[in-house]
Amino acid sequence: MNAQTTYAGPWRVGVDIGGTKIEAALVSPAGEIVASERVPARPGNEAVLDDVTALVRSVAGHLGDPKSSIAAVGVGTPGQVDSATGHIAHVVNLGIEELELGALAGERLGVPVHVENDVNAAAVGAARALCGNDTSGTIVCLNFGTGLAAGVVTEGRVVHGFSGAAGEIGHVPVDPNRFPCPCGQRGCLETVCSGASVARLWPRTIDGRPPMPDLIDRARAGEFAAQRVLAMVMHAIADALQMIGQAYDPRLIVLGGGMAKTGDPFVQVIREELHEREADCPFLAGLKLGERLRLAPVDINLGALGAALCA
């Protein structure tokens, strides 16, 4: 069952699988997280299955009413995900080549388990957190993590596309720097504006600061090398935003992932890049993309919330 246009419903558990941790959240019929637990992620098929099922059982134990029960479980995970079958593949950080996660976890738990791509799950969670039960229009969550991808939610439902590749804008090869990408192409957007690429382009941070806030601060201070790298990164981000804005015309564009934790300074430099482009293009100015930007809430596990709402 997909996320619906209302979030009222039975109790659910959402699970967010990451490269370093797995977190489960108990989600009420009103669509609110009421309890959560996490464990360090362990590699391997059996370890992931064991951890997911143990966390679901544990967090479900927070239900105060013994008559209440979990109706469904949603799992958000990186890698290639077939949301129709629950099959996942190529979860590199956890050493998973292939795993029938939905079916096997469902057998162990005795409830339906829906598996969703982690960025898609986060997009559903972001839509709920920022818009409540108003699911009108399209919300896009642009995730600046190890890679770059977009989760697209229209009228409360995830847009998967024909093969499940909707939103994979990180591998659109339009960046003029033409850096090689692990996917086999050159010039993919994520070779310049993902978290991993910014760390590669700007490894000279001071006192172990994260690359993005350090890069912005030092560019603002007039450091030429920082200004050069920031210009590259912002050019690619603005390209990504134009693709999203012109392809989906979303109500909101939510900025998520590690880079977005830089906060308001991150949004400000993006808006400055967009304003420069708008100065010469009335069409782009009319879209007002900068006004649609929102930071993903950092006090909610959007992946776990969204996974539950997709279940």
Phi and psi at 200, nearest 5°, equal -75, -40
Residue 80 pLDDT greater than 70, yes or no: yes
Residue 4 pLDDT greater than 70, yes or no: no
Q: Over range 138-150, report the average pLDDT.
A: 94
- How would residue 9 be classed by pLDDT, with cut points 50, 70 and 90? low
* pLDDT (0 to 100) of residue 208: 86
Domain ranges, ordered by start, for the chain: 12-124, 137-250+258-295
210-214 long-range contacts (CB < 8 A, ≥24 apart) are 210/258, 210/261, 210/262, 212/258, 212/259, 212/262, 212/266, 213/262, 213/265, 213/266
The answer to whether 12-124 and 137-250+258-295 have equal CATH topology is: yes
Residue given tokens 């558990």 in the structure block: 13
What is the CATH class of 12-124? alpha beta
Q: Over range 41-47, report the average pLDDT.
A: 95
Q: Please tell me the distance from the alpha carbon of residue 212 to that of residue 230, in angstroms, as a whole number.
A: 9
Q: Over range 56-83, report the average pLDDT.
A: 87
- How would residue 213 be classed by pLDDT, with cut points 50, 70 and 90? very high
Q: How far is CA 162 from CA 171, 175, 242, 257, in A?
A: 17, 26, 23, 26
Phi and psi at 160, nearest 5°, equal -95, -30
- How would residue 138 be classed by pLDDT, with cut points 50, 70 and 90? very high
Q: Specify whether the CB–CB gap between 110 and 130 falls below 8 A.
A: no
- How would residue 64 be classed by pLDDT, with cut points 50, 70 and 90? low
Residue 6 pLDDT greater than 60, yes or no: no
* pLDDT (0 to 100) of residue 93: 84
Q: Please tell me the distance from the alpha carbon of residue 262 to that of residue 34, in angstroms, as a whole number.
A: 27
Q: Please tell me the distance from the alpha carbon of residue 231 to that of residue 145, in angstroms, as a whole number.
A: 19
- Which homologous superfamily does the CATH classification assign to the domain defined by 137-250+258-295? ATPase, nucleotide binding domain (3.30.420.40)
Reported residue count of the chain is 311
Chain segment 14-23, per-residue pLDDT in tens: 999 998 999 9
Mean pLDDT, all residues of the chain = 92
Looking at the chain, the whole-number percentage of residues with pLDDT higher than 90 is 84
* pLDDT (0 to 100) of residue 68: 65
